[in-house]
Amino acid sequence: MAAPTVTAGRASEPPAPSRRRARVDALLRLLVAAGAGVLLYASFPPRTLWWLAPIAFALLGAVLRGRRARAGFLLGFVFGLGFLLPLLHWTGGYVGALPWIALSVAEAVFMGAAAAGMARVSTLPAGPLWAAAVWIAGEAVRSRVPFGGFPWGRIGFGQADSPLLPVASVGGVEFLGFVTVLAGLAIAETARRLAEPAGRRRAAWPAVLLVLAIAAGPLALLVPVTSTAPSTTVVVAAIQGNVPRLGLDFNAQRRAVLDNHVAVTEQLAADVAAGRQPQPEIVIWPENSSDIDPLRNPDAAARIDEAAAAIRAPILVGAVLVNPDGRTTSNSALVWQAGSGVVERTDKRRVMPFGEYMPWRSFFRIFSSYVDRAGNFVPGPGAGVVDMAGVRVGVAICWEVAFDDLVDDSVDAGASMLAVPSNNATFGLSEMTFQQLAMSRVRAVEHDRSVIVATTSGVSATIGPDGTVTARTGQFVPGVLVDRTVLEHTTTLATRLRSAPEWALTAVGVLAIGAAVIRGRRGRVATGGPHDVAPAVREDGHG
């Protein structure tokens, strides 16, 4: 009898039902990844659902475990879109959907790359530990490239209301993000092992990791800070003058914006004279409170001087200055003393691409006519610190608060309090201002410093060194906050270490990926399998 023939290439193909099950399984994983991304978004301000972040990473960890790097990238990319598309919706409010979607997609690519690495290390012993480090490595990269990076949406920035927040004083935003991700991945691995037959003993290690991650917050409170002088206080006023209109044209009536801030300051002076408010020693105006260059425009200078004379205190004025070349501008914070004018100045050190300046302008003009509305701002030098009434004030102008090194530099240069002058009117009634407020709260804990947030249109706030919001304004209303601000002369462990925890976690993540690759190759050699195919993974995740 003749032997049956087998068509070449088909003998090893799985039957059709198996292929259908594989497709359904892949689709379900994608849906879970997308849903986990949406849960992560829901954990961010203005909501206080911080506990959704670990759940989101538990779901992501569950679908990534045992996957190949290519599948991990796709799952992480979908997870990133589920998170970033709603989180960054404010970026497209007045310029259309294309820039918003392009930014979200670009940043989701970084998350896909991180997830690919997480998938590779997921089956190593203590896999959640290495996978959490890989995620932080991904955040480190996207916070630096391209065009200086985009640190918005780092996991630590969503934990301002979490009991894990004190961790920021030990290892900064990155360590806070690490323990949050670790908690979620440890939940997934513990649950997976408990579901296995006789799996309780094998669940011990991920359970230990989970307990350590949860305990990190309370334990961080035990880490001492170094103090060089006792705490003191200073009365600080934050002025929110409001704007005549929302959106990109908020500054079309630039004189109205300046006049609003002068009027609110003069009203505060009247309240001080009547005994309704304490006399401030420092006054903080927001970014762009004078888009008319007061160094070139005598009328603007006179209005600011009137306000400073009325309140009898130096004012930190957010001003747009035309540089000597006549072509570029600087986003500056000027210390204005009545009768003397500008006595201190610091410029924004990291200007925003696609807003304050346009990289590759001729190229991006192909895609959007809004390109030509971007500015020609240039970054300034220095550590972002000014002296006001004998107080060293660290200044992080608007999105500078998202960059670790800029805030680190200010505290290292002796800042005993931080000011975040900001202009959120460009983005209308969006979540952006609440996300920025959460960043300021994390920075307060990270460096043990009071933070004063002053915005043109809200939300302005005063924040204590423990991250507590002591007072805040509404949005698109005039407002004034007067706070007896605590000045700390302390150094936290996070301040001393600066970026060392981030680099250490990044190194751990990269080494773990290398170990997983070597382990996989050795496994293929031992089984005689092809070297370009990942080893098979059983249902329990082991090769």
> What is residue 6's predicted lDDT score, i.e. its pLDDT?
46
| Cα 41 from Cα 60, distance rounded (Å) | 14
Given a cut of 70, is residue 11 above it in pLDDT?
Answer: no
Same domain, yes or no: 190 and 106: yes
Same domain, yes or no: 112 and 215: yes
DSSP state of 90: G
> What is residue 528's predicted lDDT score, i.e. its pLDDT?
59
Q: Which position has the token pair 């990270």?
A: 446
> What is residue 447's predicted lDDT score, i.e. its pLDDT?
98
Same domain, yes or no: 25 and 55: yes
> What is residue 533's predicted lDDT score, i.e. its pLDDT?
39
Same domain, yes or no: 286 and 149: no
- 423-452 tens-digit pLDDT: 988 777 789 999 999 999 999 999 999 999
Same domain, yes or no: 212 and 250: no
Q: Read off the CATH number of the domain in which 236 is found.
A: 3.60.110.10
In 3D space, the residue among 352, 351, 376, 427 whose CA is nearest the CA of residue 95 turns out to be 427
Backbone angles phi, psi at 427, to 5 degrees: -105, 10
Average pLDDT over residues 3-12: 48
Residue 448 buriedness (CB in 10 A; 0-12 / 13-18 / 19+) = buried
User: Can you say whether the dihedral through the CA atoms of 517, 519, 525, 528 is positive or negative?
Assistant: negative
Same domain, yes or no: 167 and 85: yes
> What is residue 538's predicted lDDT score, i.e. its pLDDT?
40
Average pLDDT over residues 450-467: 96
- 333-357 tens-digit pLDDT: 999 999 999 999 999 999 988 778 7
User: Can you say whether the dihedral through the CA atoms of 294, 300, 301, 306 is positive or negative?
Assistant: negative
> What is residue 276's predicted lDDT score, i.e. its pLDDT?
97
DSSP state of 335: E
- 512-532 tens-digit pLDDT: 999 999 988 877 666 655 444
Average pLDDT over residues 461-483: 96
Q: Is residue 92 part of a domain?
A: yes
| Cα 150 from Cα 371, distance rounded (Å) | 19
Q: Is residue 367 part of a domain?
A: no
Q: Is residue 81 part of a domain?
A: yes
Same domain, yes or no: 523 and 394: no
> What is residue 8's predicted lDDT score, i.e. its pLDDT?
47
- Beta partners for residue 485, in sequence order: 234
| Cα 369 from Cα 99, distance rounded (Å) | 11
> What is residue 526's predicted lDDT score, i.e. its pLDDT?
64
> What is residue 539's predicted lDDT score, i.e. its pLDDT?
37
Same domain, yes or no: 294 and 400: yes
> What is residue 22's predicted lDDT score, i.e. its pLDDT?
87
**Choosing from 348, 356, 488, 502, which is the catalytic residue?**
348
* Structural domain count of the chain: 2
Average pLDDT over residues 18-30: 91
Average pLDDT over residues 303-321: 97
> What is residue 12's predicted lDDT score, i.e. its pLDDT?
56
Average pLDDT over residues 466-478: 95
Given a cut of 90, is residue 464 above it in pLDDT?
Answer: yes
Cβ-based neighbour number of residue 529 at 10 Å = 13
| Cα 435 from Cα 410, distance rounded (Å) | 21
For residue 362, give the 3-state DSSP assignment: helix
> What is residue 365's predicted lDDT score, i.e. its pLDDT?
66
Same domain, yes or no: 482 and 335: yes
Cβ-based neighbour number of residue 383 at 10 Å = 17
Same domain, yes or no: 121 and 267: no
| Cα 61 from Cα 213, distance rounded (Å) | 16
| Cα 196 from Cα 108, distance rounded (Å) | 33
Given a cut of 80, is residue 121 above it in pLDDT?
Answer: yes
What integer best gives the mean pLDDT of the chain? 90
Q: Is residue 542 part of a domain?
A: no
Furthest-apart CA atoms within the chain: distance in Å: 112
- Beta partners for residue 481, in sequence order: 238
Secondary structure percentages of the chain, helix, strand, coil, to 5: 50, 15, 35
Q: Is residue 445 part of a domain?
A: yes
Given a cut of 80, is residue 380 above it in pLDDT?
Answer: yes
Q: Indicate if 398 belongs to the active site.
A: yes
Q: Indicate if 174 belongs to the active site.
A: no
Same domain, yes or no: 163 and 208: yes
Q: Is residue 260 part of a domain?
A: yes
Name every residue whose Cβ is closer than 8 Å to that of residue 355 and which is 6 or more positions away in sequence. 374, 375, 426
> What is residue 201's predicted lDDT score, i.e. its pLDDT?
73
**Choosing from 287, 356, 431, 502, which is the catalytic residue?**
287
What tokens were used for 428?
Answer: 């209308």
- Beta partners for residue 196, in sequence order: none
What tokens were used for 417?
Answer: 């309090």
> What is residue 381's predicted lDDT score, i.e. its pLDDT?
95
Given a cut of 80, is residue 4 above it in pLDDT?
Answer: no
| Cα 336 from Cα 344, distance rounded (Å) | 8
| Cα 207 from Cα 513, distance rounded (Å) | 23
- 247-263 tens-digit pLDDT: 444 444 678 899 999 99
Alpha-helical (H) ranges within 221-370 are: 254-273, 298-311, 361-364
Q: Is residue 451 part of a domain?
A: yes
Average pLDDT over residues 35-60: 98
Q: Indicate if 431 belongs to the active site.
A: no
Query: What's the pTM?
Result: 0.90
DSSP state of 290: B
Q: Is residue 245 part of a domain?
A: yes
Average pLDDT over residues 470-477: 94
What tokens were used for 93?
Answer: 């409010």
**Choosing from 139, 281, 356, 398, which is the catalytic residue?**
398
- 326-338 tens-digit pLDDT: 899 999 999 999 9
Q: How far is CA 121 from the centre of its chain?
A: 26
Highest mean pLDDT among 43-57, 90-104, 184-198, 363-377: 43-57
Residue-range definition of the domain harbouring residue 434: 227-346+383-491
Given a cut of 60, is residue 418 above it in pLDDT?
Answer: yes
Residue 41 buriedness (CB in 10 A; 0-12 / 13-18 / 19+) = buried
Same domain, yes or no: 288 and 338: yes
> What is residue 195's predicted lDDT score, i.e. its pLDDT?
84
> What is residue 175's predicted lDDT score, i.e. its pLDDT?
98
In the structure, what pLDDT confidence band is assigned to residue 199 with cuts at 50, 70 and 90? low
Listed range (34-38, 42-46, 535-539) with the worst mean pLDDT: 535-539
Listed range (315-319, 330-334, 355-359, 488-492) with the worst mean pLDDT: 355-359
Average pLDDT over residues 384-388: 97
In the structure, what pLDDT confidence band is assigned to residue 46 with cuts at 50, 70 and 90? very high
Name every residue whose Cβ is closer than 8 Å to that of residue 1 and which is 6 or more positions away in sequence. none
What tokens were used for 123?
Answer: 């089956």
Name every residue whose Cβ is closer than 8 Å to that of residue 245 and which is 6 or more positions away in sequence. 252, 253
In the structure, what pLDDT confidence band is assigned to residue 98 with cuts at 50, 70 and 90? confident
> What is residue 250's predicted lDDT score, i.e. its pLDDT?
45
Given a cut of 90, is residue 500 above it in pLDDT?
Answer: yes
